[in-house]
Amino acid sequence: MSIPFVAPVVATHGEASPDAPLVVLLHGRGSNEQDIISLAPHLPTGVAYAAVRAPIAEGGGYAWFANRGIGRPVADSLAETMAWFRTWLDDVAPAGRPVIVIGFSGGGAFAGGLVLSDPARFSGAGILFATLPFDAGVPVEPGRLAHLPVFVARGDQDHVIPAELIGRTWTYLHEESGAPVVARRSPGGHGITAPILADLGGWIDERLAYSAQHLVPTPRPPADATWPSSPPPTDHSRPTHHHRK
């Protein structure tokens, strides 16, 4: 039975113009929109940021889907919450407005579900200390994310997300998805570090600058876009944001 979700609670930062590029920030499991919007002041200006509260109450915070285990969404639950989210997104970002979706932990799995379900809808995706939602009803065939820029970050000591899922996500994005990937690794655990946050900001700038300079149609990435080569993974430290999973 479907859950009667209410309209989303949204925290905003940056540009108020409905024509500004939109970066959607998705918090981790048991957290909320105020936690993740705290990243926005450290990211590029000239952008509209929106942090959406997940629709399922859990652990004093909120979650994006019911779990079969950490990092393993229940397929029906994920489909319901993605449809709920898309209703909101299609209202605030009609065709022609660039949308980048960035999620941490459970929010990263949800962001992955969104772009795997409809890669043409987005101009980029950030998967931070998270797994893609494998075996949860979303397509993961080879080439699924071709031409969709992806920023992915992981912690070598992350003991929150199962290691098997972290490895599977890393392999799929780099070797199977077709996405032009910018990857970062931290020697630490399950938390966003200052250098990774800085690199994420640079990646956002590059994506939007490329789109503006090359008149890339949005939200659909062009099949003939040639994105800059991804640098090799770099170890980072100095954690600053330790959001809940």
**pLDDT at position 235 over 80:** no
**Average pLDDT over every residue of 88-97:** 92
1 falls within a domain: no
Q: How far is CA 48 from CA 97, 124, 154, in A?
A: 11, 15, 26
Burial class (CB in 10 A: 0-12, 13-18, 19+), 205: middle
Domain count, the chain: 1
Asked if 43 and 50 count as a contact pair (C-beta separation under 8 A), the reply is no
Read off the pLDDT of residues 102-115 as tens digits, 9 standing for 90 and up.
Answer: 999 999 999 999 99
Q: Using CA of residue 19, residue 7, residue 34, residue 105, what is the dihedral sign?
A: negative
Read off the pLDDT of residues 188-221 as tens digits, 9 standing for 90 and up.
Answer: 888 898 999 999 999 999 988 877 776 544 444 4
37 falls within a domain: yes
The CATH number covering residue 163 comes to: 3.40.50.1820
pLDDT at residue 2 in the model: 54
**Average pLDDT over every residue of 28-39:** 95
150 falls within a domain: yes
Among 146, 149, 150, 151, residue whose Cα is nearest residue 223: 146
**pLDDT at position 165 over 50:** yes
**pLDDT at position 33 over 90:** yes
Distance CA 173, CA 23 (A): 21
Residues spanned by the domain of 232: 10-241
3 falls within a domain: no
5 falls within a domain: no
4 falls within a domain: no
225 falls within a domain: yes
231 falls within a domain: yes
Query: How wide is the angle at C-alpha 50 spanned by C-alphas 245 and 58, nearest 5°?
Result: 35
Mutual angle of helices 106-117 and 75-92, in 10-degree steps: 70
